[in-house]
Each structure stands twice: as C-alpha cells, then as structure tokens.
Structure 1
Amino acid sequence: MPSASMISDYLWLIPLVPFAGFLINGTVGRKFPRALVSAVALLCTAIPATIVAWLWIVMKSEGAPEVLRVVSQPWIAITGLQIDFALTVDHLTLIMLGVVTGVGFLIHVYSVGYMAHEEGYWRFFAYLNLFMFFMLVLVLAESFLLLFVGWEGVGLASYLLIGFYFTKDSAANAGKKAFIVNRIGDFGFLLAMFLLVREFGSLDFSHIFQAINVNPGWHGGILTAIALLLVLGAVGKSAQIPLYVWLPDAMEGPTPVSALIHAATMVTAGIYMVARCHVLFNHSPHALGVVAIIGAATAIFAACIGMVQHDIKRVLAYSTVSQLGYMFLACGVGAYTAGIFHLLTHAFFKALLFLSAGSVIHALSGEQDMRKMGGLRKRIPVTFWSMTMGVFAIAGIPPLAGFFSKDEILYQAFVSTNPIGKLLWLVGLITAGMTSFYMFRLWFKTFFGPEHFEEHTDLHAHGAAVHAHSGGHTVMVVDPEDNHAHGVHESPAIMTVPLAILALLSIIGGWVGVPAAMGGHNEIEHFLDPVFSTDAAVEAATTAHGSELGLAVVSVLVALAGLGIAYLFYYKKPGTAAALAAKMPALYNLVAHKFYVDEIYGALIVSPLLMLSRLFLGGIIDGGIVNGSGAAAGATTRGLSSLVRRVQSGNIRSYAGWLALGAAAVLLVMIFGRSIWMH
C-alpha cells in the first residue's frame, strides 16, 4: 500500500501534466497528425486521473491522514505577509478531483470523435488541457491567492473555448460576454482578499479558519463583508442571479466545451469556494441567508426560461443555471454536504445530457432546434437510452442519482433553522416539478412523435468527410464510398462509450448518499464529516422535524406530475402547448425572451458605458489629448523645419554668410562668458 508521503511526491503532477499537454499541443501540435494530438491530450488527462485514483486508495486506507499538504518555498514573503505555494488534499478536495479528472477525461475521449474533422483540432485540445490545469490548481489550492490564480485561469480558458469558432460573431461575442461578466464577480473576490489580508495578515485557508474558530463568538461585521464579497465572486463564476447571463450563451462553443464547463469544471468553482469557506460563512448568518435566497431565486427563474426554449443546448444551459441554484440553496441553509453531493451527481448527468445532445446534433448535421427533430429513438438508440438515463436522473426519478441529491437539499431546506426555510423548500419543490417538465419536454420532442428533420448529408460523419481547399477556404466534401455519410446515424464508439459510462454513473452515482430513512448509510455525509462540522442547532432541527421519507414521496409525485404534463403536451396531444401559449401571448413572449434581462442590461449598463467610452475615451482622451498632442507635435516640427531648411539654400555665398555669423556668435559667447565667469 503506498504511503501518504509517497503520494505527496506526485501531487504536483496532477495539475502540471495537463499543463504539459497544453504546452506540447499549443506550440507544436499544429505539425502533429491528429492521432498524436489526441494521444497527448488524452494521456495528459489520464495520468492525473490515475494519480487521483491512487490518492483515493491512500486517503481511505487505515491510519491515513485526513489532510495531505505539500508546501514549497515561500511564494510571497514581505513584511507582515507570507504566502506559500502550497497544495492541500482533504476529503472535499478528493471529491472535486475525482469529478474534474474523471468526467474531464471522458469528455476528452468524446471530443476525439466529435471534433474529428474540425479545423484547429490541435488548438481545441490545447485549450481543453489548459482548462483542466487551471481547474485542478483551483481545487488543490491551499490559499485564497492560489485559488484565485486557478479562478482567473478557468475564466481565460472558458473565453478561449467558448470563442473557439472565433470567425463566427455569435461565438466571439459569447466568449467576450463570459469573460467580462466574470470580471465583475472577480472584482468582489479581489476586495475580499484585501480585507482578509488586512484582518488576518494571511491568505492561507488554515490560518484564517483557525483564527475564526478560536473566536466562536465572532459573528457578522467584517466577516459578513468578506463573505458577501466572496458571494459576489461565486455568483459570477457559478452563474447566479444577476450574473447568470453569460452561461446560456456559452453554448456557442463546441458541445464538449459546454459539457466541460457546465458539468465538471468552471461553474462548480463558486459552489466549491463557498463550501471550502464554510467556517467563514457559518459565522455570518446574513451572508448565508443571501446565498440561500440567490440560489432559490436562480433555480426557479432559470427553470421558467428553460420551459420554453427550443434549442436543445439552450434548454440544458438554463437547466445548469437552475441546478446550480439548488447547490447555492443547499450551502445557504448550511447543508454543505448536500450541495457537494448534488455537485457530484450533477456532474454525471449533466455531462451525459450535453454529450448526448452533441450526439443528436452530430446525427442531424448540426441541427439544434428541437422543432426540427422527433422520432430519433430508433435512429440513434444508444444516444436515446443514454439521454433517457440523464433525463430521468435530473428529473429526480428514483432510484437514479439526481433523486437522492436533490431530495437531500429539499429536506435540509425544510428542516433548517433559516426563518424562511419552508418557503425555500417550496420554491425548490416547484422548481423540481418544472425541471421534470422541461426535461421530459426535451425528451419527447427529440425522440418521439413524427420525424420533423430532413435527411441531411452528415458532414461530421465519422470517416465520411475529407478536407479540400477551394479559393482559400476549407470546405467539406463527402466520400461517396462511405455508406454512413448519408442520413441520420448513430455516433461512433469513441463517442458512445463515454455516454454509456456516464449513463451508468447517472444511475448509481447517488447511491453513495442514500439516507437512513430510505435504508442507506449516507456514505458521502460520513466521508465529508472531517471537513464539515455539523452545527448543533441544525442537528437538533433535523431530529425534531417531519419525516424525510414523506418529503421524498411528495417530491417524487411532483416530478411525476411534470412527466405527466410533458407527456400530455408533447406526446398525447402535441398541439396543447402551442394552444396554451396562444391564449397567453404576453406571458409566453416574456418568458420566451428570457424576461428581456439581456435587453435591460444592454439598455441600462452596456449602452451607457459604450456611450461614455466613445465620448470620454474616444472623444476627449483619444480625439482631444492623444490626437491633439500628436498634431501639435507635428505642427511644431513642421514650423521648426521650415525655418531650418532655409539654411540649406544651395547658395555658397549664403553658406559663407551663415558660417561667419556662427563664428561671430561663438566668439561673443567665449568673450562674454569668460568675463561673467571671472566676476
């Protein structure tokens, strides 16, 4: 059995190996054949996943330490502040590492098939490895500063991946939108770090949390200010109200990017940060209340929008925003374990849903509008059954993964000491019904009913397309010998195998959290006990209030109601939804246009800023000062040169005169200058 000291020697490899993959493919990958680019990218993701698996064995072995730290030389050492470049692994880190490396590796494998004929293949995998590097740095960080390095890094990598099709305006704009909106949240994170340095003289987690723990009566005040600023950072990164607007547009990137961002990496960073800082948040009830309210509001708001979207990826995008709201809600009522549990199961079924959607899009030659789908269950059976598992899991149908994690959040909200805990539970319950409805709506519209698509030539068919160059542009031509190049067909094995693995995880992934009320042992709660200390008041409330089993029955009935309504509207009587929308056009248009939030932001924030920038920066600074100073310098130079050039007349007598004048001037200076010096 490997020892903790042995594994610590290899801990640095977890983030560094993906970074090596980024350097290799990013610098010389253009010259590599695609098979070699794939091999580098997959190997540099598989090695960290293997080390993490090894780490699981070590940390769960008898007598293993609960926390494993690796500290290098001091990173920053100035008067009054020292920050070490240190990595730490505890049970919370271990779960996050498993999600990032495990799900991340499956997405890399899937991408080999999905991106097989895309231009910039080497660039895509370089960015993907870079994303993994920064996310692993974020998870392993022992200090707020190192976490912030990973935090900003995933923002950069998301910008590169969302805007991968940079020649397409919508993709370029989506990448910029994600980058700019996240800077708003990151500003709050920066201010929080400044306050932490001022208050604690450190940015190390262990130092700060220990200082808070030795003062149990310390509540509110500066801790609330720090916590609220951290919440602002988490709201940006995890796409909560009011900074959620970047995430739905992130679907402009390739579908594997959507799966990586929405399921396993970037959007979970905010949840992880709040859970990591639970000691700080537990001493700030007001900040926790804000987190709970933001989470509940985001969950139901995004679910409303998801109910009427027609783009299959956009439905899943708003579903992600809603599910992240659930995780925020859990953290806000102090149920950090429930939040992390849902983060874990959500990574499985949301990655599965996005990759299955990618397989549907692949089969339909890029079509994403569900109104142009239908009847696909017999055409692409592996994709159908994979997405079915994901849909049932996210809808909360037992015994799939989403049922256990979602119900744990609802139960913890119901029994919490939060004054509005029952209201939060009700909002979460209604959201669960809405989630079931819009996910089964997606299921029925995509796989059942008549076929609404045309038989396209699939330009992405595995092995069907070859590249040719015409007029300086890359075009796709279909090999007429390939029998799979025409019509709707199933994705290749390199895409369907990851789907099958994720489908299995979506079925059994929640069994690690089966509560005692349902005959389980809630293994994940016991696993995270060393990280999260249970508050006595919360424990008492949990014991004193109602039956968890009864609440679970209610949530299942609500999920089944959502299934039944979707069945009626989109399978049994397909015209019902359209007729209902026609009766309430104002309400339907309001929701279909996403409550006009983007338009409101554009009118109240973006347009005034652009106007101010053009007036002040473009007009006064650039047009007045910069251009004016340049024009003045040019005019001065021209004036002086016009005078000086008169000396160069080409006339010898003129030159002799200027020479005599110059000599006289020199003599006068020498004579009068000497007399002044002597006096």
Structure 2
Amino acid sequence: MNLLFLTFVFPLIGYVLMAFSRGRTSENLAAIIGVGSVGLSALTTAWIIWQFNVAPPEGGVFTQHLWQWLDVADFSVAVGLHLDGLALTMLGVVTGVGFLIHLFASWYMRGEEGYSRFFAYTNLFIFSMVLLVLGDNLLLLYFGWEGVGVCSYLLIGFYYKERKNGNAALKAFVVTRVGDVLMAFGLFILFVQLGTLNIQELLTLAPQKFASGDLWISLAALALLGGAVGKSAQLPLQTWLADAMAGPTPVSALIHAATMVTAGVYLIARTHGIFLLAPEVLELVGIVGGVTLVLAGFAALVQTDIKRILAYSTMSQIGYMFLALGVGAWDAAIFHLMTHAFFKALLFLASGSVINACHHEQNIFKMGGLWKKLPLAYVSFIVGGSALAALPLITAGFYSKDEILWEAFASGHGGLLYAGLAGAFLTSLYTFRLIFIAFHGDAKTDAHAGSGLAHNLPLIVLIILSTFVGALIVPPLAGVLPESVGHAGGAAKHSLEIASGAIALAGIVLAAMLFLGKRSLVTALAQSAPGRLLSAWWFAAWGFDWLYDKVFVQPYLLMCRLLGRDPVDASFGLVPRLARGGHGSLSRSQTGQLRWYALSIVGGAVLLLGVVLL
C-alpha cells in the first residue's frame, strides 16, 4: 500500500504532458497518455484493494505522510493520505469508472477540436478527485474540492465557441462557489474551536469539547452541508447541474454522474462525527435529499433532451443518498453511491453513443425506432434504466435503494420513506418514458451504431456491474461509519421490498401505457390547461432559475448600474474638479496687457481696504 500516492501521481503526469503539448500531439498519442495514465491509476487502486483485503492494515487504516505543506505559528498542515474502507470505496469508483469513461471518450471525442486539451482537463480532474478522497485533513480535501470545481468549469465550457456553453460553465462555477464559501466558513469554525483540520483528530476532539446540539458545532455542520449541497446539486443550489450538460457527453458521465456530484455525500460521510453532534442539521440533510429527489423526478418527467433527463435523474439519486445520510443509513448511502456510479455512467455513455449515432441529435422525440439499429446502446439503456428504476432482484440499484428505504422506515422517518417511494415511482416512469420514446415507435432519423473496443468494452463492463453482480461488491465500511439502525430486517423488510418492487413495476407499466403506441392519452393530458401549466413549470425545473434571477441577479445588476456612477467616487472627484476650475479661471486672467494688470492691482487694493474697513 506504499504505492498509494501513485493513484494521483499518474493522472497528474498525464495532465502535465497534455498541458505542455499545446495541442501538438496526435490523437493516438493523446489517447494513450490520457487513457493510460488513468488506467495505471486504476491498476494501482486494484493492487491496493487486493492488499487491503488480503493483509488489512492495523485498525483498518493506512496513512501515508508525503511532506509538510504549511507550518505557520500554531497552524501545521501536511500532505498526508488516509486510506480506510470509505476512501477505498470512493477510490475504486473514481479510478475504475473513471478509466472506463476515459476509454469511451477516446472513441467519442475523435475528430473534435481540442482532443488533447480534453484529456488534460479530465486527467486533472481525476488527480483532484483522488486528492479529495485520500486527503487526511480538511485543507487538502478542500484543495481537491476546488480542483474538481475548476475542472468542472473547464469541461462544461469545453466547446467555448458557443456562448451558451460558456454561460453554463460560469453558472456552475458561481453556484458551486456559494457552497464552497460556506464550506470554508465551516473549516474556519472547526479550526478555531478545535485547533486542527486533521479529520481523524476532529472526529476525536469534537465529542470531547461539544455537547450534542452545541451552537458552534451546529454552525460548522450547517456550513459543511452548504458545501455539500453546492457540489452535489441539491436544494437550494441544484440549478447548475442540468445546464452542465453543455459539456461533452463523457464529461457528463465522469463529473456530473459518477464522481464529482457524489463529493458532497462523501464529505458528510467522512465528517459524520460532526453531524452526529448536530442532530438538527443531520435531520435537515435528510429533508433536503427527500425534497430534491421528488422535485427532480417531476422535472425529469417532461424533459425532451436525453442528457437533461439523465441530469435530473442524477439530482434525484443524489437526493436518495442525502436522505440515507439524514436517517443515519451511512452504509446504504455509500452503497448507493457505488451502484449509482455504475448504472448512471452506463446511461450517460450509452446516451453519448445514441447522440453520436443520430448525428448529435439530443431530442428524444426526434429519435424513435433505434432498438434495431443500436442494439448495444439499447441493451445498455434497458439494463441501466432498470437499475435506475430499481427493478427487483436482478439490478444493482434495487439492493442499494431498497436498503435506503428500509433504513428510513426503521429509523421512524415516515415522511422521508414516502418521499423515497414517490421518487421510486417517478424514476421508473421517466426512465422508461425515455426508453420507449427514443428506442421504440417509428424511426425519425438515420442512425449508425458505434463500434470498436473503446466503444464496446466500457458499455459491456458497466452493463455487468449494473446487474445484481454490482450489488455483490460490498463496500468495506465496517468500523469506519456508525452502525445503521435497520440491519435486523425481518418480515417488515421483506414487505417493504415487495412494495417498492411493485411500485417500480407499476411505473414501468404506466410508462408503457402512456408512451408506447400513439400516445393519445398523454398528448391529451399535456394539451389540457392544467397539463400545459404543469409541463411548463416542471420543464423549467419548478422555476428556481427565474426566482434566483429576480431575487439575486437583477438586484445585483441594478447595483452595478447604480455604482457605475459611484456617488462616493464622485464626491472624492469634486476636489480635483474644483482645482481644475480654479486653475482655468485664473489662467484666463493672464492676458499680457499692462492696463489689465494695473486695474487688477487697484481692484485688489480696493477690495482689501473694504475688508479692513468693514
């Protein structure tokens, strides 16, 4: 396990080579460096996982001190790595799924301008994400946190020649910065109160100094939650994720489905001791997740862009993870994080294959009849969509999502359980709406199937991992996270499994009734007055962009216009204007005529005499 540092060194080397090539490398060489560096990182991770299981480190934790980073007065921070079951799970997801996405991207991005630039950005992202996962202190974690934010900006705006892509990148950067600033406040509070940013020391010291519900620990947890909702696109900072689909499709799979958006979930799980001391904030985590998963489900139900449907789906599934964290189902949250990475990466890569096959068409209503022309993409959507909808027994998503629902029930959070069940129904409905419209019915466009190892292998591997096979991979979280309340199970758990499975199947059946065939019923509903209103409202994602524009953007622009003629600046400018005016007046008195000067002297003398006499 001494090779742990290589997991981020390889992607960093790949980034440096690509960045300094200035686009002069061939596509083949760029692919070898970009994909190979992440592949080496994934192989290193596989070796570490094997060692971790065969010869576990003492206490289940391996630490690696690399060098001293900062040492100023009482503030000392090292670049150190901390590997336990939680970090190992995340590391496997980041490098393993990241490698498959890089391999697919080497096919998808062929012929695109900026091929080597793309891999430079994605390698930098993997480097930053691994630092975020392995950092043993919150400052190093924050460094990686900001790194993935920068990479997100660069990759969303990759096609920078189109203004809308730049706007989407800027929106993502600004909205997530709000959360990042809140997270920084949390770091400040924790350091001032506890004198360290080392995560394990914080988890040890916090219960010793703070009682449950203490003001400072609650503020710190609330600030960390602010950072988490920004990065993981949860209410109220969720508006950036759908627009982030402006980037290349492999970017959507890498950053906005499988890895970066789960960073908030990882942060809360990693700092679980802080949240356990702030039960009100932990309750808020669950509420945020429950509300987000339902609102995002309705928004996904009316979208027409294949990637935006999957984006709102991601928002909803991250909501399940937040719900799990809020009810204390720590293991279930990380388990769903892992399975979601499998099937959502599969869905995004398959959507990339469909978009490429349909000449970059993304509107599902302009597709149709693709199942014969794109068999691998169709199978990918069937398996990935079934896992997303948590089809019982045969999919990975069923086992992880069902665990979350059971923990919500066992912990007595009835409201969150109902939200989870409603989300499960909506998920089945919008997922198979997408599949039935895009792949069935009459063909509306020509399509050519992708081919080659780089196209087929990632899809096939992710198809396998999205079935029950993926659920057999159990994250080694024993002793890392607190025990959940609902592990006992029994008849009640089986009843809930049957109910959730029935709800998922009911959503699929309803989707088939509404969206297969002529769709006359759903068309009539959509054209009714309530249908048009709800469709427009949900299509606009409940109007949060409009609301934020009125509350934040427009007042800010008004202030900019007012301060463009800054009254304070104008008052300071009064003094030089008076000086210039006086200079102009006196300079006009210098005429060069003797009579004018004599008259001026007499006039001045009379004025002085008048002043003296008065």
Please report the TM-score for the alignment, with normalisation by the length of structure 2. Answer: 0.91
1:533 aligns with 2:482: yes
- 2:46 maps to 53
Provide the secondary structure at the position in 2 that maps to 1:70: strand
What code does the residue aligned with 2:537 have? Answer: L
Indicate whether 1:607 and 2:554 are aligned.
yes
1:409 matched to 2:356? The reply is: no
- Asked whether the equivalents of residues 220 and 286 of structure 1 are also in contact (C-alpha less than 8 Å), the reply is no
**Within the alignment, does 1:294 sit opposite 2:243 as a pair?**
no
Shifted more, 98-107 versus 379-388: the winner is 379-388
With over 3 angstroms needed to count, the CA separation of the structure-2 counterparts of 1:56 and 1:607, relative to structure 1, is same
Residue aligning to 1:373: 367
Structure 1 residue 634 displacement after superposition: 13
1:352-396 alpha-carbon deviations (Å, 9 max, x no partner): 000100100000101000110110000111111112110111000
Deviation, structure 1 residue 593: 2.5
Q: Is the 8 A contact 1:177 1:246 kept in 2?
A: yes
Is 2:151 aligned against 1:205? no
Superposed CA deviations along residues 436-488 of structure 1, whole A, max 9, x for unmatched, are 000000000111011122x3xxxxxxxxxxxxxxxxxxxxxxxxxxxxxxx53
- 1:264 corresponds to 2:224: no
Q: Is the 1:383–1:496 contact (alpha carbons within 8 Å) kept by the matching residues of 2?
A: no
Q: Match for residue 576 of structure 1?
A: 521
Cα distance, 1:79 vs. partner? 2.5
Residue number among 520, 538, 543 corresponding to 1:596 in the alignment: 543
Matched, 1:304 2:298: yes
1:503 corresponds, among 459, 463, 471, to 463
Shift of 1:214: 4.3
Q: Is the Cα–Cα contact under 8 Å of residues 144 and 203 in structure 1 kept in the other structure?
A: yes
1:23: which partner in 2?
A: 16
Q: For residues 374-523 of structure 1, what are the structure 2 equivalents within 5 Å?
A: 374-397=368-391, 398-417=393-412, 421-453=413-445, 455=446, 488-512=448-472, 523=474
Residues of 2 paired with 1:401 and 1:569: CA distance?
27
Deviations 1:569-589 (A, max 9, x none): 111442221111122222222
1:38 is aligned with what amino acid?
A
1:104 to partner: Cα distance: 0.5
Alpha-carbon separation, structure 2, partners of 1:11 and 1:207: 22
Question: Are positions 1:360 and 2:354 aligned together?
Answer: yes
Is 1:193–2:187 an aligned residue pair? yes
Cα distance in structure 2, aligned partners of 1:322 and 1:218: 30
Q: CA deviation at 1:63?
A: 4.8
Contact 2:307 2:362 (C-alpha < 8 Å) held by counterparts: yes
SS at 1:86 equivalent: strand
Q: Does the residue aligned with 1:44 lie in a helix, a strand or coil?
A: helix
Query: What is the letter of the counterpart of residue 309 of structure 1?
Result: Q
Q: How does 1:14-93 map to 2 (within 5 A)?
A: 14-65=7-58, 66-93=60-87
Distance 1:28 1:544, change over 3 A: closer
Tell me which amino acid in the other structure corresponds to 1:506: S
Are the counterparts in 2 of residues 29 and 37 from structure 1 also a CA contact under 8 Å?
A: no
Residues in 2 aligned to 1:544 and 1:412: alpha-carbon distance in whole angstroms: 9
Give the 3-state SS of the residue equivalent to 2:519 in structure 1: coil
Instruction: Give the 3 Å change call, closer, same or farther, for CA 76–425 of structure 1 in structure 2.
Output: same
Q: Distance in 2 between matches of 1:256 and 1:388?
A: 19
Deviation readout 1:329-366 (Å, 9 max, x if unpaired): 00000111100000000000000000100100000101
**Structure 1: where are the runs of 5+ without partners?**
1-6, 456-486, 514-522, 647-679
For the 8 Å contact 2:284–2:326, the answer to whether it is kept is yes
CA distance, structure 2, for counterparts of residue 101 and residue 196 of structure 1: 31
1:220–1:285 CA contact under 8 A, matched in 2: no
| Cα distance in structure 2, aligned partners of 1:491 and 1:629 | 72
Q: Which moved more, 1:213-222 or 1:60-69?
A: 213-222
**Preserved contact between residue 403 and residue 510 of structure 1 (Cα < 8 Å):** no
Aligned ranges 1:621-632 → 2 under 5 Å: 624=570
Structure 2 matches for 1:83-122, cutoff 5 A? Answer: 83-122=77-116
Q: Secondary structure at the match of 1:490?
A: coil
AA paired with 2:287? I
- Give the counterpart letter for 2:216 in structure 1: I
**Whole-angstrom distance in 2 between the partners of 1:546 and 1:634:** 90
Alpha-carbon spacing, 1:563–1:83, altered in 2? closer, same or farther (3 Å): same
Asked whether the equivalents of residues 444 and 570 of structure 1 are also in contact (C-alpha less than 8 Å), the reply is yes
- How far the C-alpha of 1:491 sits from its partner, in A, is 4.2
Checking the alignment, whether the CA contact within 8 Å between 1:438 and 1:566 is kept in structure 2 is: yes
Cα drift, residue 45 of structure 1: 0.6
Whether the 8 Å CA contact 1:237–1:270 is kept in 2: the answer is yes
Q: 1: distance between equivalents of 2:173 and 2:406?
A: 36
Between 1:290-299 and 1:389-398, the stretch displaced more is: 389-398
SS in 2 for 1:267: helix
Pick from 274, 282, 304 the counterpart of residue 268 of structure 2. Answer: 274
1:629 Cα deviation after fit: 9.8
Q: Which residue of 2 aligns with 1:652?
A: none
Q: 1:396 to 1:633 in 2, by over 3 A?
A: farther
Verify the 8 A CA contact 1:415 1:545 in the aligned structure 2. Answer: no
* Matched residue, 2:533: 586
Per the alignment, do residues 633 and 499 of structure 1 end up closer, same or farther by CA in structure 2, a change over 3 Å counting? farther
Residue 133 of structure 2 is matched in structure 1 by: 139
Which blocks of at least 5 consecutive residues in structure 2 are unaligned?
592-614
2:207–2:277 Cα contact (<8 Å) kept = no
| Mapped partners of 2:232, 2:512: distance in 1 | 32
For residue 70 of structure 2, give the secondary structure of its aligned residue in structure 1: strand
How do 1:632-643 residues align onto structure 2 when only pairs under 5 Å count?
Answer: none
C-alpha change, 1:148 and 1:630, in structure 2 (3 Å) is farther
1:381, 1:490 within 8 Å by CA — same for their partners in 2? no
- CA deviation string 1:226-273 (max 9, x = no partner): 101100100000000110000000000000000011222210100000
* Number of equivalenced pairs: 586
Aligned residue among 602, 619, 629 for 2:565: 619
Match of residue 567 from structure 1: 512
DSSP 3-state at the match of 2:68: strand
**1:319 has 2:266 as partner:** no
In 1, the alpha carbon distance for the partners of 2:121 and 2:569 equals 38
Cα distance, 1:289 vs structure 2: 0.5
Q: Which amino acid aligns with 1:422?
A: G
| Aligned residue type for 1:567 | A
Q: CA deviation at 1:533?
A: 2.5
What are the residue-to-residue correspondences of 1:101-250 with 2, within 5 Å?
101-214=95-208, 218-250=212-244
Cα drift, residue 33 of structure 1:
1.0
- Equivalent AA in structure 1 for residue 565 of structure 2: G
Q: Distance in 1 between matches of 2:566 and 2:238?
A: 34
d(CA) in 2 for partners of 1:357 and 1:629? Answer: 62
Shift of 1:620: 1.3
- Report Cα offsets for 1:264-306 as digits up to 9, x if no partner: 2210100000000111111211011000000000000000000
Q: Is the 8 A contact 2:330 2:482 kept in 1?
A: no
Range that drifts further, 278-287 or 315-324:
278-287
Structure 1 letter corresponding to 2:237: L
Q: Give me the whole-angstrom Cα distance separating, in 1, the residues matched to 2:300 and 2:559.
A: 35
| Residue 41 to residue 158, structure 1, CA distance change in 2 (3 Å) | same
